[in-house]
Amino acid sequence: MAIRIGIIGYGNLARGVESEIRRCPDMKLCGVFTRRDPATVSIKTPDVPVYSVNNLKDKTADFDVMINCGGSATDLPVTTPEYAGLYNVIDSFDTHATIPEHFAKVDAAAKANGKTAIISAGWDPGMFSLMRLYANCVLPEGQDYTFWGKGVSQGHSDAIRRVPGVKNGKQYTIPVPAALDAVRSGSNPELTTRQKHTRECFVVAEEGADLAAIEKTIKEMPNYFADYDTTVNFISEEEFNANHARLNHGGFVFRTGTTGFDGENKHVIEYSLKLDSNPEFTASVILAYARAVFKLSSKGDFGCKTVFDIAPALLSPLSGEELRAHLL
């Protein structure tokens, strides 16, 4: 019996789940829930129904795990606790600062209703968090470094598009090669925000817009750009559509540390991702953890979990025997 998966929402991440579930032989997409009129939402997979989110409470017998594909800013903090009262649920909540609060709400709802939930699954938080945890445990004396990119930052791209005179824009976060090299050398450098990443913007300006003013506004924007070396490139709409349509991303997690009676030995742990499609890779991670949600729920292990609480074997469709024989 395949694990019956539902998707809530139908944006980039949800479409990634729809695409990647076809690579999970033990899962079946059984429905998509939308806030829009379901008649107006056409999905790619044949014979899978689209429902209104208003019908979520009527379908609890038909799904094993719901994947909540809402946004972290305002949607997930409200909806994941709500859905955890009805379904086993997983989300990719990525506002690091409010994870403890989100965890507490989802945990209470899930426990009260005999459901299992995982929050903050994806690559950061998610795979990168795991790498930080493992590396901290195996090198207790050391230093952590996380770099993002080269890749598209949705938040920074949105910020560019809010600047007057900007028709379209995309922002790439780029790790500074010299900083990566310094970390790899094991020299434990102290790096400022500016030394770690640069920001590269591609902007389509409205006709007659003041380009110098746009560039100045972007470069001086507090929080988003002011602390970085930022370059602004004005390009045509054709070039924008031809070369900047992808949602690639990636990054690096390092821990460098020392061992030995006199701290005389250095070690460098490096994990990196180079992703053509941020939403599809995130969806793939979520699906692996959805499998764990199902297994935990099946044995009555309820409440909210994160990637830290999940034994890796739970992510695999293979048995313990198979994993030990082929992957250990």
Neighbours of 167 (CB within 10 A): 13
Spatial distance between the Cα atoms of 150 and 279, rounded to a whole number of angstroms: 15
At its nearest, how many Å lie between a second copy and the CB of residue 298?
Answer: 17
Pick 6 or 251: Cβ nearer a second copy: 251
- Do residues 101 and 112 make contact, with C-beta atoms less than 8 angstroms apart? no
143 lines the binding site for a second copy (CB under 8 A): no
Spatial distance between the Cα atoms of 260 and 265, rounded to a whole number of angstroms: 6
- Do residues 144 and 124 make contact, with C-beta atoms less than 8 angstroms apart? no
Q: Strand 65-68 to strand 89-90: parallel, antiparallel, or no bridges (unpaired)?
A: parallel
Q: Give the bridge partners for 203, in sequence order.
A: 169, 234
Pick 39 or 328: Cβ nearer a second copy: 328
- Do residues 169 and 263 make contact, with C-beta atoms less than 8 angstroms apart? no
323 lines the binding site for a second copy (CB under 8 A): yes
Spatial distance between the Cα atoms of 272 and 328, rounded to a whole number of angstroms: 21
The one segment of 150-158, 224-232, 233-241, 277-285 that binds a second copy by CB under 8 A: 277-285
DSSP element (H, E) containing 70 = none
- Do residues 278 and 248 make contact, with C-beta atoms less than 8 angstroms apart? yes
Spatial distance between the Cα atoms of 170 and 278, rounded to a whole number of angstroms: 15
At its nearest, how many Å lie between a second copy and the CB of residue 54?
Answer: 29
Residue among 5, 139, 159, 232 that touches a second copy (CB under 8 A): 139
154 lines the binding site for a second copy (CB under 8 A): no
Neighbours of 197 (CB within 10 A): 21
The one segment of 28-36, 51-59, 131-139, 147-155 that binds a second copy by CB under 8 A: 131-139
306 lines the binding site for a second copy (CB under 8 A): yes
Site residues for a second copy, window 12-31 (CB under 8 A)?
16, 19-20, 23-24
171 lines the binding site for a second copy (CB under 8 A): no
The mark string for 179-198 relative to a second copy (x by CB under 8 A, - otherwise) is -----x-x------------
Site residues for a second copy, window 228-257 (CB under 8 A)?
none
- Both tokens of residue 214? 């746009």
Q: What are phi and psi of 22, to 5 degrees?
A: -65, -15
At its nearest, how many Å lie between a second copy and the CB of residue 244?
Answer: 16
The one segment of 97-105, 108-116, 158-166, 172-180 that binds a second copy by CB under 8 A: 97-105
The footprint of a second copy (CB under 8 A) covers 16, 19-20, 23-24, 44, 96, 99-100, 103, 120, 125, 127, 129-134, 136-141, 184, 186, 259-261, 264-277, 280-281, 283-285, 288, 291, 306-313, 315-316, 320-321, 323-325, 327-328
